[in-house]
Structure 1
């Protein structure tokens, strides 16, 4: 007996629901070992590498470059050489009508997999009568014809393109310097490459998008399915069978977010139809589809506003002393280039250690507060598709130079989709700074499950009163948004008081 195994879209993080194949790193017919890099998968926030969970032979690629599948979706079939091509095709057909790559007909009925992830189906291996020659050209390559005028891929830092576009350009030898981008700052997308190639007389397959498929609802009794009380109540309210939900909660239980994901998926089409019906025919309206990252941001922040009772505290900070210290360090240590944001991150970390009750997450499912020993500060970074919050870990124990280096490194990799999941998921506190855009003051929405977020405005000259006289000082307005379930007003005020002390007496953050 030989095994047919599958490779699937993994679940990297609780909020991940789908992934797009960015690039296959091995081809059909290649042997691989456990831990080897198989392909690159693009999620709502990052491009990550899928490592092989077992040793095997890649027999058939199901999901080609650019295909988008839900978590658990089968992307490839693996089996020993003893398993015939006919059996592989039959198994591929059983997964949902995958087009056959050969003209052979299935000779055996292969049972459907019993679970989405880590399926191992046993089939009887047919004896080999002769060796089967593998096609050296992978299927993903068909349909691409690049005109000579656009050939000649060269890597250049001056070319701005999406990660997926860069990979495909390198793979198909496309000269991106000859292509005009339609994105922000002339960023080149896969669609821009497709348009340029076709205009020049070549061919480029259609850019694939995930089609919305109707999933059959389960009617089985779900009373014995492990789920949290909140999840079970919501499922009953929305008419959702718990068998249709993933279980991402503790101890394998279905949690509230799992039920919400099913509800949003089932009602997405109705919401879009309702919006379209509201359009006025005489008004030209451009419909812009929400990308995966924007959908994730919308879902998380909506949940934060709905579940976390926000209250806000505001304080003005005199930043002249911390600016003077920053300029002194930058002028005396040439290899260090501190920003005021780096300094404020360090001051916030010190304040979190002094008032540890603010350095928390709220475990809503188990109704408990998680208080952290180190200050892992998430810093909001704007990228092309939305917003991401890379984490400066243990900022309280790092030097200003290290915080500055880490911040530049994380921000750069965030904008190219190269962050690992643990570099932007978690954190005990968040900072959002819009001062570089001239914003004087704003309120930020809490980044769940954290308990608070600090919004920082621009540093500007303002008239202030000191000793009954008016003087001009450089001031920054800071607004702290707190989750009232875990942080009270007095506690938030203590944190801001400590933060103000460190900002206005910056020598304290150096010792």
Structure 2
């Protein structure tokens, strides 16, 4: 057993609970070195590349693309060539990752026992067509018919086929490691005994007229996109690859579907009185599930209260225009100033620069400000973190925000780049939203919702003059932050935003 090693789902971050295999980059029987890319695993937010933690030989892939496993679950098994298949099965059984080979026949023979009385009274020639009827033109000779015992060492596919054909695997010689019986062994035994094996027809897949006909099995695509393309009869070569790492994603297949004018019909014919279905059911992906779970818990467990303030940003806009004009390599946005101002304000009011630990019912107060910036993606929302915002220059904040947003949209963020943070800024001003309130991103205790800046009439010394006003709303967790404390933070934020030169010293 010492020569067998499990390749497991790693824990990439404190909040990670499970991962979904999207693609394997190595195949069974392939040797690999420590650090080699083995597969890609999708978590709640991003797709990570799993590197080999040691040198080895990939003997068994346990989790196929599309399968979801908890952290620590066995993805594959590495073992030397001297290790038998039986030892690997025993190892997987001990890990609870795969049923032991002896257990599989029990599951398969139980349902197969039902047709046994039908076959038993007529063991002569009429019994031969029975399995043939269940498998097309496959004919199993009488000499191979029977029920498989629970001691046969066979692949799961061979066991299922034997149960379907009422074939006794005890009469089949296995050619695999440790005498394991495979599907090919079953087919060879049938032919050797004088029977015949049907050639399975290719999967039914209509091909669109005028479209690409070449094999698309090597096109890099997500499992969902590949299944959808097969159902619609769309060749993946005809789809634009806009997904992460240049893969064809579901949206690309849907775009091709619209381009070809395909109409998906319901499997049940609708009556004349029924109107056509005018909606599409879209299942939650892992990111949307994680967002729903975390924000529902935040809304339920954290008693939110909100404080709103209007900030005059004319001086900020003037400084931004001056810096952008004088320093060609720097292009500051209003959001960059807001992120920097939040970092500075958090250091002035450190009681807001905190995380709340639900388990220990305690508060972690940080000496540095890690400001998360909400980024909208087609599949949901992610909050990459500008580390040490309080000590960065405006140019550095701008450069870091741009880099993180680019990584977020391409799906290449590392876990440490979006997990954690002490405060979040969510800006919808670019969409013309005047003001809104946001839900706190746990374990943080506050989030700032930023609206659009617009000119509004302001009374100054009895005169009405235009000022550019930006409305912000601070959502606070009342378990940690009281009203006066939240107001103190907004006052400091207002001071930095309305006197932006303070952020330069």
**TM-score, with length taken from structure 2:** 0.67
Determine if the alignment matches structure 1 residue 443 to structure 2 residue 503. Answer: no
In the alignment, which residue of structure 2 is the partner of 1:427?
421
Other-structure match for 1:22: 22
The structure 1 residue matched to 2:494, chosen from 500, 505, 508, is: 500
Is residue 472 from structure 1 mapped to residue 466 from structure 2 by the alignment? yes
| Residues 90 and 106, structure 1, Cα contact 8 Å, conserved in 2 | no
> Does residue 417 of the first structure (1) align with residue 464 of the second (2)?
no
**1:42 counterpart residue number:** 42
Query: How large is the Cα RMSD of the aligned pairs?
Result: 4.1
The one-character-per-residue Cα deviations of 1:340-383 (angstroms, maximum 9, x if unpaired) are 10011111111111111111111122122111111100111101
Which residue pairs with 1:79 in the alignment? 79
How far apart in 1 are the matches of 2:219 and 2:19? Answer: 28
Query: Match of 1:66?
Result: 66
**1:361 is the counterpart of 2:421:** no
Q: Is the 8 A contact 1:89 1:106 kept in 2?
A: no
* Matched residue count: 387
Residue 430 of structure 1: CA displacement? 0.6
- 2-structure distance, mates of 1:339, 1:376: 19
What do the CA deviations read for 1:445-498 (whole angstroms, capped 9, x no partner)?
111111111110001110111111101111000111111111111111111111
- Measure the CA separation in 2 of the matches of 1:468 and 1:442: 30
| Aligned equivalents of 1:392, 1:14: Cα separation in 2 | 19
Please give the secondary structure, in 2, of the residue aligned with 1:23.
Answer: strand
Q: What's the CA shift for 1:188?
A: 5.1
Contact 1:347-1:509 at 8 Å conserved across structures: yes
Map 1:310-459 → 2, pairs under 5 A: 310-459=304-453
| Structure-1 separation of matches of 2:403 and 2:500 | 24
8 Å contact kept, 2:32–2:55 = yes
- Corresponding residue of 1:52: 52
**Mapped pair 1:11 → 2:11:** yes
Q: Distance in 2 between matches of 1:154 and 1:147?
A: 13
Structure 1 stretch displaced more, 388-397 or 36-45: 36-45
Q: Assess, with a 3 A threshold, how the Cα gap between structure 1 residues 182 and 417 changes in structure 2: closer, same or farther.
A: closer
Q: Do the aligned partners of 2:212 and 2:238 also contact (CA within 8 Å) in 1?
A: no
Q: Where do 1:163-178 residues align within 5 Å?
A: 178=238
Cα 1:299/1:314, change in 2 over 3 Å: same
Contact 1:37 1:52 in 2 (8 A): yes
Q: CA contact under 8 A between 1:154 and 1:175: conserved in structure 2?
A: no
CA distance in 1, matches of 2:217, 2:472: 51
**Match of 1:106?**
153
The alpha-carbon distance between structure 1 residues 163 and 336, as it changes in their structure 2 partners (threshold 3 A), is farther
Aligned match of 1:488:
482
Decide whether the 8 Å contact of 1:2 with 1:79 is kept in 2. Answer: no
1:96 paired with 2:143, answer no
What is the CA distance between 1:48 and its match in structure 2?
1.1
Instruction: Flag the 1:358–1:182 CA change in 2: closer, same or farther, 3 A.
Output: closer
Is the alpha carbon distance of 1:190 and 1:359 closer, same or farther for their aligned partners in structure 2, counting shifts above 3 Å? Answer: same
Alignment of 1:137-156 (within 5 A): none
Which whole-Å CA distance do the structure 2 matches of 1:340 and 1:175 have between them? 45
Q: Mark the runs of 5 or more structure 2 residues left unpaired by the alignment.
A: 105-150, 155-176, 180-201, 261-273
- The 3-state SS of whatever aligns with 2:287 is helix
1:248-263 equivalences under 5 Å are none
Mapped partners of 1:56, 1:395: distance in 2: 43
> How far apart, in 1, do the equivalents of 2:248 and 2:319 lie?
41
In the alignment, the residues of structure 2 paired with residue 180 and residue 58 of structure 1 have an alpha-carbon distance, to the nearest angstrom, of 33
CA contact (8 A) 1:87 1:106 kept: no
What aligned pairs does 1:280-319 form with structure 2 within 5 A after superposition?
Answer: 286-319=280-313
CA distance in 1, matches of 2:276, 2:219: 47
Conservation of the 8 A alpha-carbon contact between 1:162 and 1:416: no
Q: Which structure 1 residue ranges, 5 or more long, are not aligned? A: 108-127, 131-141, 156-160, 201-279
Q: Does the residue aligned with 1:357 lie in a helix, a strand or coil?
A: coil
Q: How does 1:111-122 map to 2 (within 5 A)?
A: none
* Distance in 2, Cα, partners of 1:89 & 1:435: 57
Which residue pairs with 1:207 in the alignment?
none
Contact 1:62 1:98 in 2 (8 A): no
After TM superposition, the score normalised by the length of structure 1 is 0.66
- CA pair 474-153 structure 1, distance change in 2 beyond 3 A: farther
CA drift at 1:51:
2.7
In structure 1, distance between residues paired with 2:368 and 2:487: 21
1:199-226 CA distance string (max 9 Å, x none): 99xxxxxxxxxxxxxxxxxxxxxxxxxx
